[in-house]
Structure 1
Amino acid sequence: MKPIYVIGHKNPDVDAVVSAIAYARLKTYTTNGNYVAAAAGELNPESRFILQHLGFEAPALVTDVGAKVEDLLDEELPTSIHPDATLVEVGNLLRAGKIKTLPVVDNDSRLLGLLTVGDVAQIYLDTLGNGEVNLRQTPELLASILSRKVGEVMKTRGLMLFERRETVDEAKKQMLMTRYRNYPVVDEDNRFLGMISRYHLLQMKRKKVILVDHNEKTQAVEGIEEAEILEIVDHHRVGDLQTIAPIFFRNEPVGATSTLVAECYQDYGLVLEPDLAGLLLAGILSDTMIFRSPTTTAKDRRVAAHLADLAGLDVQEWGKEIFRRTGHQDLDDLAGLIREDLKEYQHGNTAFAISQVETVDLQAFRYRQPDIREALEELCTRRGYRLMLLMVTDIFEEGTELLAAGTKKDVVEKAFGHPLEDGSIFLQGVMSRKKQVVPVIYKILAEENVLY
């Protein structure tokens, strides 16, 4: 059964990771399907600590859900044959399976060659069809043909095959150029996975995904426009993703998607196991910054208290432990740190991005401000951002040092009413990118569009 990926946004934070794990498990409990928790990027140190502490495996790394050749394959592996088999066995398989092409594989399922009905017919014609055969010799000739080994007669050169990760568009081009009946598909180790044909292009099944903690195309895993979105569970503004058919879409203004996933368990009357309750509690505490973020709602607090009871954890102590273990970042790789929780946005022709880092040591970042600004400017140049912001949020000081770069960094001064000093400004009480920064940036950009 092909997987249904439950996946969060690029540059996954804790809420995206734990929501995917918990919701995949919920779907497994309540419906039929092969639900797989996935991450659209490498996990940050905070997520790795939480998973290791609670005994969870990391979700599968899935960076592209675009249509690949492997998506064309049938669920069942087609018939194959060993090179030591005889043409008698070939004939039996071709007749029994009503197939035209037989892949030849070794004991490890590695593809060695192909044998088609046409190839077998040609062997008979070459042996019996020249008009000079003595009819009395026919039984012996037939016996010699039927005893021949597949390895002697299979085609091994000039085979047209595809690797499973090749795009469907590339496969389509090759099929139109070559016009064979069937094409074998192999993995990176040349192991045979199945056969595809032009028929499969017409019946192509997209990868199926459930999105958690996002619903905007710029934040979604690569290839999302070629996937089939089945559900969305999120707590952000409604974005620009489109679906093939109506879907289940749960979207509420709460502080964390983990809150909504925990409620889904309650809706089904399911009691969360202690480790899973602790996992979802970590998602809530991380995204609400231990309830210090203005996005925090009464529902977040209520659900968190229930999860803490189930997990046997103290809310404040568990939250502080998470940030204490992960709040001291390695500032040697500034570019990597900026990309870790970066989200891209678009307003008209203006592309901008906002990254957020949570810390308990704001002074260390201030010491590296010149280097950070240089890294932000480089990112603007490389990705074409007109504005790039880095929020360095101190959990316990309850404020954010906002660093700005790009040709439109003056937007920050207009948005917050204070001048930038050396490219940064400290915003007391600002903790939330979603609620306190993104909306005001959009507002200023909209006002500028009206003026100009």
Structure 2
Amino acid sequence: MSHRITYVIGHKNPDTDSICSAIAYARLKRAMGEENVVAARAGNLNAQTEFVLEHFQQQSPQYLPDIYLRVKDVMTSDVITLNASDTLNKAFRLFKNYNLKLLPLVDPGKRLIGTLSLLDLSKIQMERLGPGRSHMLFTSVKNIHEVLGARILNAPMPEKEFSGFVVVGAMTEKSFKKRLQEFVPASTIVVVGDRYEIQKIAIDFKVRCLIVTGGKGLAEEFLKLARENEVNVLVSPHDTAQSSNLIFTSIPVHYAASKSRETLSEDELLIEAREKILHSENQGMPVVNHQRRVLGIVTRSDLLKPPGKQLILVDHNEMAQTIDGAEEVEIIEIIDHHRLGNGPTMKPILFINEPLGSTSTLVAELYQKNNITPEKTVAGLLIAGIISDTILLKSPTSTEKDEQMLKWLSEITGLNYIELGMEIFNATSSLSGRSIEEIVEGDFKDYLVGDTKIGISQVEVVGLEELDSIKDDILEYLEKLVKNRKYSLVALMVTDILTEGSILLFQGDRGITGRIRYPLMEPNIAELKGILSRKKQLLPYILEIVGV
């Protein structure tokens, strides 16, 4: 698994303040020595934010459709694998030395062909204890040579696998000859020390393999006869008892492995993978790509690992507004200037929340408190975030601290923030050229109040002339949102920077919309004189009429 990464992220449908504060705070954290801190976004950029990023030549933060934990977040990538012909002896050593629970079997192309678990090894050991099978195995001369560390004297076809029986030559010659009659020569492995008569009988019987133990050699005449009879001859450095036991670990792993096709993909949701693993008889599952090449492995103990991702929330604290899947990862900080709507956390976190006009103001102040001067481009982004959220300090949410931070950041950049603000609003406040979806969804926020679901969007314009031609289309779109997403109320607040007022278009439950007492210009369209702030002016009123 990769090192833990921290995403600094704003709300869904991010606005300029959300994006700029995320970029700036991630830069601050890295400047303070924290590694793997990355700015991210939970939605598409609006036209204003795109203009700001292009103006300051900054890349858009990484887009995250969700933060749900996936298999790749907990899997072990450095996977130890086995080839089908590898021995159980090798598997035993790998399990022991690396404390493994599962070993994938792969073909020469590294494609998965099976898995070997400790349970599989137990099963094959149990088979050895069954009646009539205690001396039977499936192996090859090559594998026997490997597990014994033997010296090969004769091996015509060492890699050919065969099933056979192990016969220990610890008996009289007469008994041994009688014992051999019970087996097929080509399936017989004889293990014997320096008992020359037994060695000769085995070679004459044309057994598949003769293992001479104790490091003893074979008489030259016996070796010549073995070659003529195509008898494989190996010299084991171990005694007869130990050699016999080791031979049973020469079985190829594919003989014992599970042929289960159960696998995981690296992008699979961890919650789904967890169910698969917990209901599997194995302790884990391999992770493969579409070609079945092994990418990693996930065991039950991996499911207990801390998540490889964590979040810092900026410009919001309500779970209804944050990235999908946030409940599965650790939220370690929140930097915000909105009402409290967050759920409980498992442990104390850094939570900075002040009634200011912009989260970018809070981030700028954190630069000051840590005696770090932001780069000019970062300072420019923070100016844009404050300008956008305070509507050039005209919003009633604006504070003296917002203005102080604007002046400090302007000194760093050499920019006139009033001129920059007018440039931003003039370039991006036109409704023409934007789809109804972009207008409504661009800065859309969800609010959950008990069982009541509310959605309020806001768009800033320089003059209201363009609204008249699209107001009916907007109302139709809002009505679809109410029906399709089960809102009790959906509203779009069109804020005119020039007149310092807004127009509210709304749809929803008549029991709620009927309580709206703003002057109606026409059905479902109200005039909001002097109202610029969704957060400080409109939202408290809406919450009041829904009964909060």
TM-score, normalised on structure 1? 0.86
For residues 348 and 175 of structure 1, do their structure 2 counterparts lie closer, same or farther at Cα, with a shift above 3 Å needed? closer
Contact 1:80 1:104 in 2 (8 A): no
User: Which of 283, 286, 298 in structure 1 is aligned with 2:385?
Assistant: 283
1:382 aligns with 2:417: no
1:32 corresponds to: 34
Contact 2:72 2:267 in 1 (8 A): yes
2:334 corresponds to: 232
1:430 corresponds to: 531
CA distance in 1, matches of 2:357, 2:9: 19
How large is the RMSD of aligned CA atoms in angstroms?
Answer: 3.3
For residues 9 and 81 of structure 1, do their structure 2 counterparts lie closer, same or farther at Cα, with a shift above 3 Å needed? same
Q: Which amino acid aligns with 1:364?
A: E
User: Which of 153, 162, 165 in structure 2 is aligned with 1:130?
Assistant: 165
1:173 aligns with 2:174: no
Q: Which amino acid aligns with 2:267?
A: R
2:46 corresponds to: 44
Q: Which amino acid aligns with 1:134?
A: I
Q: Structure 1 residue 309: deviation in Å?
A: 1.4
Q: Which amino acid aligns with 2:538?
A: V
Q: Which amino acid aligns with 1:435?
A: K
Count of aligned pairs between the two proteins: 442
2:61 corresponds to: 59
**CA deviations over 1:116-165 (Å, ceiling 9, x no partner):** 36679969932266345232615659999999999x88979533211223
Which range is displaced more, 386-395 or 279-288?
386-395
Which range is displaced more, 86-95 or 207-216?
86-95
2:409 corresponds to: 307
Matched ranges for 1:391-402 at <5 A: 391-402=493-504
Contact 2:277 2:284 in 1 (8 A): no
CA distance in 2, matches of 1:146, 1:313: 76
Q: Structure 1 residue 46: deviation in Å?
A: 1.6
1:244 aligns with 2:342: no
2:200 corresponds to: none
1:325 aligns with 2:337: no
CA distance in 2, matches of 1:367, 1:248: 47
Contact 1:8 1:40 in 2 (8 A): yes
CA distance in 2, matches of 1:216, 1:401: 26
2:148 corresponds to: none
Q: Structure 1 residue 350: deviation in Å?
A: 2.6
**CA deviations over 1:51-109 (Å, ceiling 9, x no partner):** 222122211111222333233335xx33334869965987775564343533467999x
Query: 3-state DSSP class of the match of 1:126?
Result: strand
Larger radius of gyration: 2
Q: Structure 1 residue 228: deviation in Å?
A: 0.9
Structure that is richer in helix per residue: 1
Query: 3-state DSSP class of the match of 2:73?
Result: helix
Query: 3-state DSSP class of the match of 1:196?
Result: strand
Q: Which amino acid aligns with 1:177?
A: H
Query: 3-state DSSP class of the match of 1:135?
Result: strand
CA distance in 2, matches of 1:50, 1:141: 80
Contact 1:389 1:403 in 2 (8 A): yes
Query: 3-state DSSP class of the match of 1:162?
Result: coil
Contact 1:392 1:402 in 2 (8 A): yes
For residues 107 and 432 of structure 1, do their structure 2 counterparts lie closer, same or farther at Cα, with a shift above 3 Å needed? farther
Contact 2:41 2:63 in 1 (8 A): yes
Which range is displaced more, 300-309 or 114-123?
114-123
Gaps of 5+ in 2: 126-135, 140-162, 167-182, 192-208, 212-231, 236-246
Q: Which amino acid aligns with 2:471?
A: Q
Query: 3-state DSSP class of the match of 2:332?
Result: strand
Give the number of the structure with larger relative contact order, counting CA–CA contacts within 8 Å between residues 6 or more apart: 2
TM-score, normalised on structure 2? 0.72
Query: 3-state DSSP class of the match of 1:436?
Result: helix
CA distance in 2, matches of 1:316, 1:297: 16
Query: 3-state DSSP class of the match of 1:5?
Result: strand
CA distance in 2, matches of 1:106, 1:43: 46
CA distance in 1, matches of 2:79, 2:512: 65
**CA deviations over 1:20-71 (Å, ceiling 9, x no partner):** 1111111122243311111011111221221222122211111222333233
Query: 3-state DSSP class of the match of 1:55?
Result: coil
Which range is displaced more, 164-173 or 396-405?
164-173
Q: Which amino acid aligns with 1:126?
A: F
Query: 3-state DSSP class of the match of 2:522?
Result: coil
Contact 2:475 2:506 in 1 (8 A): yes
Q: Structure 1 residue 409: deviation in Å?
A: 7.5
1:23 corresponds to: 25
1:421 aligns with 2:522: yes
Q: Structure 1 residue 396: deviation in Å?
A: 2.3
Q: Structure 1 residue 425: deviation in Å?
A: 1.9
**CA deviations over 1:193-229 (Å, ceiling 9, x no partner):** 4221122233453731111000011111111222211
Q: Which amino acid aligns with 1:432?
A: S
Query: 3-state DSSP class of the match of 1:364?
Result: coil
1:79 aligns with 2:91: no
CA distance in 2, matches of 1:101, 1:366: 67
Q: Identity of paired residues, percent? A: 38
1:102 aligns with 2:114: no
For residues 403 and 142 of structure 1, do their structure 2 counterparts lie closer, same or farther at Cα, with a shift above 3 Å needed? farther
For residues 347 and 205 of structure 1, do their structure 2 counterparts lie closer, same or farther at Cα, with a shift above 3 Å needed? closer
For residues 404 and 210 of structure 1, do their structure 2 counterparts lie closer, same or farther at Cα, with a shift above 3 Å needed? same
Contact 2:457 2:492 in 1 (8 A): yes
Contact 2:318 2:340 in 1 (8 A): yes
CA distance in 1, matches of 2:83, 2:277: 27
Matched ranges for 1:261-300 at <5 A: 261-300=363-402
For residues 266 and 332 of structure 1, do their structure 2 counterparts lie closer, same or farther at Cα, with a shift above 3 Å needed? closer
Q: Structure 1 residue 412: deviation in Å?
A: 7.0
Q: Structure 1 residue 335: deviation in Å?
A: 2.6
Contact 1:113 1:154 in 2 (8 A): no
Query: 3-state DSSP class of the match of 2:341?
Result: coil
Contact 1:219 1:343 in 2 (8 A): yes
